[in-house]
A and B are shown apart, each in its own frame.
Chain A
Amino acid sequence: MDFGMDTITWYLLIAAVMVIFGMVRLLLVRDLLARLIALDVTGIGVLLTLVALAARSDATDPVLQALVITGLVIAVAFTGLGAVLIRRIEGQQDDPPGGDAP
């Protein structure tokens, strides 16, 4: 079926939407977990761009795919640190005020 657009372009467009709206949400929302998720959506958007670029050639390009795997692992690392920090910050809010906080 022809929708006047090829597959790569379609996914590049989706990637652009994900990047930009992830970013906008990240900048506008206050809830920490929502920000973390928005950051990850932005990250997936960027990686989707790279995979779409890899798929331009007949056999999907191995180098770009490898770069995407690298990018995924980095995203997990950051999300993990962010998640732990959010847990600590919110755990501290449950605490009664005062205490020997440095």
Chain B
Amino acid sequence: MKRFIARRLMQGAVLICMVATIVFFLGRLTGNPVDLMLPEDATAEDRAALTKTLGLDGSLGDQFVIFVGNALHGDLGRSIRMKQPAVEAFFDRLPNTLVLIPWALLLGMILGIPLGVVAALNRGGLLDRAAGTVAVLGVAVPSFWLGVLLIFVFSVELGWLPSGRMGGPEHFILPVVTLGTFLVAGFMRITRSAMLEVMESEFVKLARIKGLSEGVVIWKHCLRNALIPVLTLWGVFVGNLITGAIVTETVFAWPGIGRLTYEAVIYRDFPLLQAVIILKSILILSINLVVDILYAYVDPRIRLA
């Protein structure tokens, strides 16, 4: 297990270096932040002075060397717009995103896993098809559309819930529903297919031979086995939620790292963009590692191998 973790950490380090290089060059393709910061009629001297202040005056190669040098010392630069270290800006906003994730996951699993089991038990039947329709809708509906629709219905028309920004529990409902809807479908589909496979196995037959009740056979013997692929999905989803909350957070004016990413791109805030992407990558790699370790916990064949 230790060797496994060490190897994964090495692979992660290489991956982060690649991500950093790509985001550095890709970000600079979007244009120049100076154009956004100064008025149209600014003089050439003003522009040159600001460019120099921002450290954008050297050649791309020189800038990259400086970036790498600083990054190796743990310094990812200062945000141009927010006038604070980029890393600090990221960690200021991170908790706001993280508080959404458990709720979205919970919603996705609470609805998705039982739906998947029910669909598997009624394979080919009406309930199966109904669950399948829900699943397709959940995946097909884009979050920018669902988010706006929810705001329209529950905030504008009914006035029951706030349309955005962070606040009390009522502020969580719409963003969590928007994020969770996508997950329901994923959890449902993977639970269904895993259950169908497990229900055919010999150990399920033996469980029935023992005289166990259908409830124990399905919800204990089958589901525990079917949860192994569900857990893999969990890792993918947490990653998706961290990176993919960009749209949802923007729609609901939620001050998390999704919206921070959006702002970094819009304002061409290169240091912030680089820091956000690199830190997100590190986060995702760590989550995947944790999921692999959890995996080993659920499946003793991996744990003890």
Q: Do A and B bind each other?
A: no
